[in-house]
Amino acid sequence: MTTMKIGIDALGVAIPRRYIDMVELARARGIEPGKYVEGLGAREMAVAEPGEDTVALAAQAASRALAASEVDRNNLGLLIVGTETGVDHSKPVASFVHGLLGLPTTMRVYDTQHACYGGTAGLMTAIDWIASGAAAGRSALVICSDIARYGVGTAGEPTQGAGSVAMVVSANPGLLEIDHGVSGAASTHVHDFWRPLGMREAQVDGHYSVQCYLDAVATAYRGWKARAIERGLVRGAPGEQASEQLARICYHVPFCKMARKAHVHVRKTEAEDASATWDAAAEQQGIASFKQQVEPSLGLCARVGNVYTGSLYLGLAGLLQAQAAGLAGQRIGMFSYGSGCTSEFFSGVVGKAAAARIAAAKLGDMLDEREKISVTEYERIMAMAPTAPITDGPAGDGFRFTGVTNHQRQYAKR
């Protein structure tokens, strides 16, 4: 086990420039708005046009992360993009981003895939690479980027979204030091959510997927807890709940209510392990603890929707945007879930520079600059072909997909 401090030095977020209001979507579908707003916890949902594809969002988030970090881009040795909505069967999203940002030619560059877990796979690889010494003083860029798409009129429709979170991973990180080697994983071969080759829309067994997530979080949490107690990061005496010793917990957020279900389930798991009673009163305590430990991380997720690989890290960004100053030096929990399924519960300590780094990510401006569109306009965008002609957007620090020439996807600065 390394004694180096390794983790996320800075992050950058990119989201589409348009969104819809969930009350308006519910009304258009003849559904009581309470189902989307309270039932799922969604307020707004990002709508990506074809020009805002996985590559364009990834490149934009990465350039923002690099701008917010003190790491020199010429000292990067590894670029990994976690995605489940890539743009080519062979050429990785990472390769496009590498070219668009003009990063060093001496780097390893590739994608990782396992549904929403793909970004965490990249993050863990980057941390191990630095801890092993193979990085030889260099840093990594890990990007999560996806377009979550179930289709108009489906049960999954209110849980769509799109966006990218890019993270500079380094020694002596400013944002979050990851507890290296202290994690629990849980994997099972299930068909809860998948996207057959050639299909744009994900297939999902919605309620089953929720159950698969809950089963996974219980196993992964138990694995993390055992190692965290062993390493003395949390106390494990009878009656002491490890989860309560975490200042906050960020969960993978396919929709905000899922984070509440997950947290209450973790509490239930703790109760089972301690042979304690799990009744209505205990559940109410779980909900109260959700409000304090988890809800502060959901501000951005409620306004963007599911961004698949980036969802957990959008939660982290939202948490730090809201509370970074007060959390410096405190340990938080993180749970990453990828359908299919694999998952990991891990933890980290918020850095002293977190407030400054998250301010540099300008997350508030990013939301304010968006344009609200009608449900009719959203449906028009959803019906566009993936290679449709691109509408011009305002100038910015972003990139856009501009079309295909000789079967090669083309991009330009916005």
Which of 8, 48, 115, 350 binds ligand HMG (CB under 6 A)? It is: 115
CB of 61 to ligand HMG, least distance (A): 18
CB of 351 to ligand HMG, least distance (A): 28
Which of 5, 23, 28, 39 binds ligand HMG (CB under 6 A)? It is: 39
CB of 27 to ligand HMG, least distance (A): 12
Query: Which positions are catalytic?
Result: 84, 116, 252
CB of 25 to ligand HMG, least distance (A): 12
Name which of 208 and 391 has its Cβ closer to ligand HMG: 208
Q: What is the DSSP letter of 91?
A: S
According to the binding rule CB under 6 A, does residue 295 interact with ligand HMG?
Answer: no
Which of 221, 255, 345, 411 binds ligand HMG (CB under 6 A)? It is: 255
Taking residues 74 to 93 in sequence order and writing x for each that binds ligand HMG by CB under 6 A, - otherwise, the string is ----------x---------
Stretch that binds ligand HMG, among 5-13, 35-43, 319-327, 401-409 (CB under 6 A): 35-43
252 HSE (CA, 13 A, CB side):
29
CA 114, 116, 117, 118 dihedral sign is: positive
- Rounded CA-CA distance 294/315 in Å is 9
Helix axes 256-273, 206-230, angle to 10 degrees: 50
Compute how many residues bind ligand HMG; rule: CB under 6 A.
Answer: 31
Q: What is the footprint of ligand HMG within residues 189-208 (CB under 6 A)? A: 192-193, 204, 206-207
Q: Quick one: which of 228, 227, 297, 303 has its CA closest to 262?
A: 297
Three-state secondary structure string covering 373-408: CCHHHHHHHHCCCCCCCCCCCCCCCCEEEEEEECCE
Pairing type for strands 108-112 and 76-82 reads parallel
According to the binding rule CB under 6 A, does residue 393 interact with ligand HMG?
Answer: no
In 232-379, beta strands by DSSP E: 248-251, 331-338, 342-350, 371-372
Which residues sit opposite 13 in a β-bridge? 165
Q: Within 10 Å of residue 328's Cβ, how many Cβ atoms? A: 15
Name which of 32 and 230 has its Cβ closer to ligand HMG: 32
**Binding residues for ligand HMG (CB under 6 A):** 32, 34-35, 38-40, 84, 115-116, 155-156, 158-159, 192-193, 204, 206-207, 209-210, 213, 252, 254-255, 257-258, 306, 308, 337-339
